Amino acid sequence: MSIRTGDLPLKAQLAKELANSNMREAIANGQDLLNSKRDASFEELGDYEQWRETAGAIRSHVLENLDYYLNQFANQADAAGAHVYFAKDDVQATGYCLEILQTKNAVKAVKSKSMVTEEISLNEVLEEAGIEVIETDLGEYLLQVDDHDKPSHIVVPALHKNREHFRRILAEKKGYTGDNVPENITRFVRQLIREDFMTADVGITGCNFAVAETGTVTLVTNEGNGRFVTTAPKTQIVLMGMERIVPTFAELDIMFSVLARSAIGAKLTSYMSLITGPKGETDRDGPEDLHIIIVDNGRSKVLESGFREVLRCIRCGTCMLECPAYRHISGHGYGTLYPGPLGLALVPVLAGYEDYKEITKICSLCGRCNEVCPVKVPLYESIFEHRRIIAEEGNLTNVGEKFLMGGYGNVIGHPSLYNLTTKTAHFSSAAPVVGPLKQWSLDRELPEIPKTRFRDWYAAREKKAGEK
């Protein structure tokens, strides 16, 4: 799939999403429900600020020492019997993956949801090589059936769809004859893909956190598919972004404690799986081979930029659930795999300003994201700084805007110019409603600009007082 998920230009993409009232209702309800659950969950935990500061300090420490911990993790995982591959980009990562599958003559892979695998377009590469790939997270499975629709949120991928839609596509594509009650849909899918779990050649997963001290990879899940995918197939492949490391189990404690509460308002998820090496020799289930592919794909660019702390992100999805802009356009509105405040902060550095500068406009700078991020990523500051880089460095901004902004700066930089311009401003009420005025007026009336300014009133009053 890669980072880009939508091809329309920004305004067209936004217009498309704003017109989707089903999605807007689903997202608004989703935000309200999950946000109140999260609030209650952290209220119950207590000392939220302390947890955030601690979690943030741990993540920052890891980034500061990332070379050390990657080295330690690889050595430990190797000692535990895993094969470890370092992939500098998507091509190398998918290449390793394909090689492993082809060596095993694999024809079917079952996957547990992983954002990094979507980032590197893994499914596409495997499918092109004739390997059947089945997404097993319910939301991802339903999207896959729905003509490979893209996820609209990084934790609840099908947040933008409703139950009736799912009933319909399952009826059309999989012969489902039941109603749209979520439990019934779920039971149907369980029975439908159970055989796939048992007969797949390879299980592919992501990794929530990798423990450097022991070479352990961890999966935080609810549905049981993560466990299934790492139990039944004889070969397991884990893909992880290179920044997803914790030093020891003691830090894993803190990260686990904030992740589920942030993401879904639950203390913990149903399952937290800690996998160290392939199965023991005499074990009678679990993978015989464990392969761990560690992916850069732009993360080192972020690490060396002034935006290093954006890599603290633990992919909880909170920022987008709290974002007032995301609310109306969902992840699709951004046209990027990582949407919302995370997307704005990360994607321009991860994948380049040239292609991704437009999304930095999708923000009213309300500051809510900073307040809620469990690891205190400086989201607001990052978005703010991206805008400066886009405006001031390189050839990233158009001549028209540069000119207008320069003009504005000139006017407000000189009292006489400002005085003159604002004195005649009320004539603009007669101006044609084009450009920015048109943008404003789509849903609102324009304000009327009065003949007298405040300064005129004040000057007149001073004059009168002086005359007395």
Partner 1 sequence: MITGKEQFVARVSSCLNRTKVPEHPTELVRPHQMQKNYLAGAPHRELIETFIANSHALGIDVHRCPVNDLTATLIQVIGEIDGPVILANDPLLTGKTAEILGREAGDCHVWDLGESRETNMNRAERAKVGIAVAELGLAETGSTLLFSHLDSGRSITLLPENSIIIVRAESIKPRLTQAMELLQRTEILPSSVNFISGPSATADIELVRVQGVHGPLELIYIIVD
Partner 2 sequence: MKTVSFFSTCLADTVFPGVAKDSVLLLEQLGCRVVFNPKQTCCGQPLINSGFHQKARKAMELQIETLLEDPADYVVGPSGSCVLQVKEYPKFFEDRPELQEKARQLKKKIYELTDFIVNVLGITDVGASLEARVAYHPSCHLTRLLGVREPPLALLNQVKGLELVGFKGQDKCCGFGGTFSVKLGSLSGAMAEEKVKNIQEVGADYLTGADAGCLMSLHGVIQRKQYPIKVMHIAQLLRGNYKL
Residues in touch with partner 2 (CB under 8 A): 10-11, 14-15, 18, 28, 324-325, 327-329, 361-368, 370-371, 384, 386-392, 397, 401, 405-406, 408-415, 418-419, 422, 425, 435-447, 449-450, 452-459
Task: Tell which one of 47, 172, 355, 462 touches partner 1 (CB under 8 A).
Answer: 47
CB count within 10 Å of CB 427 equals 10
CB 305 within 8 A of CB 25: no
Smallest gap from residue 324 Cβ to partner 2 (A): 4
User: Rule CB under 8 A: is residue 199 a binding residue for partner 1?
Assistant: no
- Chosen from partner 1, partner 2, none, partner binding at 387 (C-beta under 5 to 8 Å by type): partner 2
- Residue 307 as a binder of partner 1 (CB under 8 A): the answer is no
Burial class (CB in 10 A: 0-12, 13-18, 19+), 357: buried
**What does the alpha-carbon distance between residue 95 and residue 107 come to, in Å, rounded to a whole number?**
16
User: Residue 242, Cα to own-chain centre: how many angstroms?
Assistant: 16
Cβ nearer to partner 2, comparing 187 with 414:
414
Q: Which does 83 bind (CB under 5 to 8 A by kind): partner 2, partner 1, none?
A: partner 1
Only one residue has tokens 């499975």, namely 141
Q: What does 16 bind: partner 2, partner 1, none (CB cut-off 5 to 8 Å by kind)?
A: none
User: CB of 238 within 8 A of CB of 205?
Assistant: yes
Q: What is the largest CA-CA distance in the chain?
A: 103
Interface map 74-113 toward partner 1 (x if CB under 8 A): xx--x-x--xxxxxx---x---x-----------------
Q: Which partner from the list partner 1, partner 2, none does 363 bind, CB cut-off 5 to 8 Å by kind?
A: partner 2
User: Token digits for 60?
Assistant: 């920052």
Which burial class, exposed, middle or buried, applies to 406 when counting CB atoms under 10 A from its CB (0-12, 13-18, 19+)? Answer: exposed
Q: How far apart are CA 157 and CA 111, in angstroms?
A: 15
Angle at 220 between CA 219 and CA 221, to 5 degrees: 110
Backbone angles phi, psi at 220, to 5 degrees: -110, 110
356 makes contact, choosing from partner 1, partner 2, none, with CB < 5 to 8 Å by partner type, with none
Q: Check residue 381 for interaction with partner 1 (CB under 8 A).
A: no
- The reply to whether 262 sits near partner 1 by the rule CB under 8 A is no
CB of 459 to partner 1, least distance (A): 54
3-state secondary structure 414-451: CHHHHHHHHHCHHHHHHCCCCHHHHHHHCCCCCCCCCC
Residue with tokens 């439908």: 192
Q: Which is closer to partner 1, CB of 138 or CB of 350?
A: 138
Binding flag, residue 20, partner 1 (CB under 8 A): no
CB nearer partner 1, residue 306 or residue 394: 306
* Residue matched to tokens 């978005």: 383
The one of partner 1, partner 2, none whose footprint includes residue 389, by CB under 5 to 8 A per kind, is partner 2
Q: Which of 2, 20, 35, 231 binds partner 1 (CB under 8 A)?
A: 231
Residues 174-193 that bind partner 1 (CB under 8 A): 182-183, 185-187, 189-190, 193
Report helix, strand and coil shares of the chain as percent, to nearest 5.
Answer: 55, 10, 35
Total residues interacting with partner 1, rule: CB under 8 A: 105
Query: Choosing among partner 1, partner 2, none, which partner's interface includes residue 411 (Cβ < 5 to 8 Å by kind)?
Result: partner 2
Q: Residue 457: which of partner 1, partner 2, none does it interact with, CB under 5 to 8 A by kind?
A: partner 2
Residue 198, SS3?
Answer: helix
